[in-house]
Structure 1
Amino acid sequence: MTLADYVFRAAAMSDLPLLRTWQSLPHVQEWWNSDEPFDEEELRDPRVSRWIVELNGKSFAYMQDYSVHGWEEHHFGHLPPGSRGIDQYIGDPAMIGRGHGTAFIRQRMHVLFTAGAPVIAVDPHPANTRAVTVYTKLGFRIAGVERETPWGFILPMEARPPGE
């Protein structure tokens, strides 16, 4: 896959049935602990950009990126202004284990770094070895100890633009 292969379209209220279906699947529930994908108020929240990821016109994943400074005492609040956090999952089980996660995350990271993000942060559950492996492959480095946060038990990881 190349950086131009994936389409990120803004998530909309009309995507809720699809997201609820994905979030009901065991492979998503294992690591994504949200009852509802979002509501209208959350969809308008300027701190978070929510995306449906498509390949060849088919929706298969959800991704969000957010301002790490948008919440008081966020565990990534120490990062420089403009830093973004990311979260995502592949909803379609047929797309797992085929390199799509690595590829679409790389594409989104490229967009965020090009837009000026000095750091991109991610906070997988430490036991989610698949995610940690993918993030490491993408240039993320462990940036602290495993710890409990209001958003769950995390392993903080950070990536900087290529060449830095």
Structure 2
Amino acid sequence: MTAFAFRPMLADDLPTIKRWLEAPHVREWWHDPAEQFELVSGDLGDPEMAQFMVAADGREFAYLQCYKLGAKDSGFGPQPQGTRGLDQFIGEASMVGRGHGSAFVRAFADRLLADGTPRVVTDPDPANRRAIRAYEKAGFRRDRLVKTPDGTALLMIRDP
């Protein structure tokens, strides 16, 4: 079984994040790499946004951000106090399509829920079937379509 590690992202990781955001498989769903890089780098040090580099068996391959729901205008509607939102991408193309996304999201959400987080949510693009399937494999259920600042998204929920 693959062991996943979640290391807090540092400023030294920004060149890696930039390279990953420019990769075609990430750009397909995260869109403009320059705009996304500005957002991701701008969140460094924000106490409402926890950012992680994800490693599988010691090799960093993905980015994950976890935020308090009130921290940004999510458009998700009322949620239990303390709900956390997740966004992530696999940066290393060789790691896509191998089950790592659902596995590390499950591991991270399991940890949040075990520590008392009442709910974890995510909001993939409704056309991103691969992400939706990965979140379902990680224990999330489809809730409803929501309007977010980035457009229409599928709200997916994981409760304890």
User: Is TM more than 0.5 here?
Assistant: yes
1:2-151 map, 5 Å: 5-33=3-31, 35=35, 36=37, 38-39=40-41, 41-72=42-73, 74-145=74-145, 147-151=146-150
Identity of aligned residues (%): 41
Counterpart AA for 1:138: A
Runs of 4+ in 1 over 2 A off after TM superposition: none
Q: What stretches of structure 2 of length at least 5 have no aligned partner? A: none
Q: Which moved more, 1:91-100 or 1:150-159?
A: 150-159
Q: What stretches of structure 1 of length at least 5 have no aligned partner? A: none
Q: TM-score, normalised by structure 2?
A: 0.90
Question: Are the equivalent residues in 2 in contact too, given 1:68–1:77 (CA < 8 A)?
Answer: no
Distance in 2 (CA, whole Å) between partners of 1:22 and 1:138 is 23
SS of the residue aligned with 1:158? strand
The RMSD of aligned alpha carbons is 1.5
Count, aligned residues? 156
Judging by fraction of residues, say which structure has more helix. 2
Distance in 1 (CA, whole Å) between partners of 2:112 and 2:97 is 24
Distance in 2 (CA, whole Å) between partners of 1:99 and 1:42 is 28
Distance in 2 (CA, whole Å) between partners of 1:57 and 1:139 is 25
Q: TM-score, normalised by structure 1?
A: 0.88
